[in-house]
Structure formats: C-alpha cells, structure tokens
Structure 1
C-alpha cells in the first residue's frame, strides 16, 4: 500500500501531497522536509528505491522533467508496481493536460488531485486503464458544466422574478 505520495520540485517545494495514512500535521511537515531533502540530494545514477528511509517502509522516487514523484510504500510491497503506478499517473496527467508541466499542477492542483483519486484509492491502484480514467474525468467535467449552466439559468430566473416583483 502507498502510504503517501509527494510531488516535489527541484527547488524542494511540495507541489502535491496525498496522504493515505493518519499522521499529525507536524509529522507530515517533517516527512515532507526529510523526503525532499533525501531525494534531492541523491545522484541521478542511483536507483529509484530508497531503503534507508524507515525500518518498515521504502521510498520510491522517479523524476519527470522538473518534478520528483515520491511514494512511500510498506517494506514488503513491490517496488516495480509502485513505479508503474507513478508512471500511469504521469501518463494520465500528460494526456489530460497535453504535455503536462509543473505550472499545470500549480494552477490546476484540484484537477491533479482529482486525477490522482481516480488512479489511487486508499493507497491502492484503483484503475489501470488510461482510457477509462480519462473517460471518468471527462464525464465528471461534462456533468459539472451541465449543473453549472442549470444553476446559472435558475439563478437568472430567480433574479428576474425578484426584480419584476420589486418593480411592481
């Protein structure tokens, strides 16, 4: 199980943090600081698995462009499946945003969290098909746009009725 997933820039700024275990805010801050320091200080020649994180966990880190994707998993979990899960998340982001970059995640963080929720559920892989994930997201967005247009038309009708009543 993935305990948490962090997206960290090369400057050490956390761009996205999703927690699948219960921790205090103080512990989360310490973990974010420690993980980003540990991963940023590693040479690019090292492997993607950091076993010296804690005794029962491993860090899986992968760099895509200017972002480091860091996942903490249980000590007995498969590292390659976690790397594939990270890669799936990156591919879905790339398809959704069209060549995703760090700025897409900064300005559309709510969409990035929503996409992550479609990929992972409770720290486990929920859906492995990129097409299915993108179809879910597209359906959700079309329903949201439809409800917004209905809400605005209802609001304009109510305002028109109130204005007509006041003007009498």
Structure 2
C-alpha cells in the first residue's frame, strides 16, 4: 500500500502531496522535512529506495522534480517505480512534456490525474488511454460549467440594467 505521495522540487519545495494514511498535520510536516532532506541529499548514482520509520521511500527524479512514494517494507519497490513512471507518462501526455510550472499552475489537474491513477493507496487504473479519456471528459465538464456560468452571469447583468 502507498501511504503517501510527495512531489518535491530540487530546492525542497513541496509541489504536490497526497496522503492515504492518517497523519496529523504536525506528523505530515515532520515527514516532509525528513524525507525531503533525505532524498535531496542523496547522490544521483545511489539506489532509489530509502528506509524510513519502518517504511520504504521509493523516489525517482524527473527533470527538477522528485516523485516520492512511501510504501510498506514488504511491498515491491520496482512496482512502485513503475507506478511513478506511469504517473509521469500520463502527466507528460496531458501537459505535453510536463514541467514544474505545469504542476504549480494546474495543481488541480495533477491531483485529478493522481486520483484517477491511485485510490486509497492502490493502483486503480493501469491504462493510459482510459485515464486520458476520463481526464478529457472532466475537462469537457469543466468547460461546459464555465460556459453555463458565463451565460447566466450575462443574463443577470442584462436583467439588472
């Protein structure tokens, strides 16, 4: 089971967090500090698995971001690396070569993609095509809602004149 997902920049700024296990806000902040310090200080040639508080942190660096997932000790690290890569491929397909700024300005879409990929810390969908179709449907719903809201506000503006 994946306990949480962290996306951390090279400067140590947290760009995305998703918690699947109950942690208090104080515990979350402490975990983020510890893990970012551990992961950022490691040499690039070292393995991508670190033991932390009876769990394993599996991480992978893509460009300026570290994608980190906390798993149970007995879970398969290579499977989690594949999940991380799968997530990055979906982000790349959606944003067209994803970068840190895409995640900063469109964090809600990154969360939506992650929610389509993982539920309760387990892999939900392995098909990139299915996830892309669901994201496109969500974007279509958002656009329709924006158009309806715009037309309603126009009607109200004209009625109040």
Matched residue of 1:137: which SS? helix
Q: Which runs of 5+ in 2 are unaligned?
A: none
Deviations, residues 92-123 of structure 1 (Å, cap 9, x unaligned): 11011101111111111111111111111111
Whether 1:136 and 2:134 are equivalent positions in the alignment is: yes
Q: Which runs of 5+ in 1 are unaligned?
A: 164-168
Structure 2 match to 1:154: 152
Structure 1 match to 2:47: 47
Structure 1 match to 2:24: 24
Q: Distance in 2 between matches of 1:144 and 1:109?
A: 15
Structure 2 match to 1:95: 93
RMSD: 1.1
Matched residue of 1:62: which SS? strand
Q: Distance in 2 between matches of 1:154 and 1:76?
A: 54
What is the TM-score with the length of structure 1 in the denominator?
0.92
Deviant stretches of 4+, over 6 Å:
none
How many residue pairs align between the two structures? 161
Whether 1:71 and 2:58 are equivalent positions in the alignment is: no
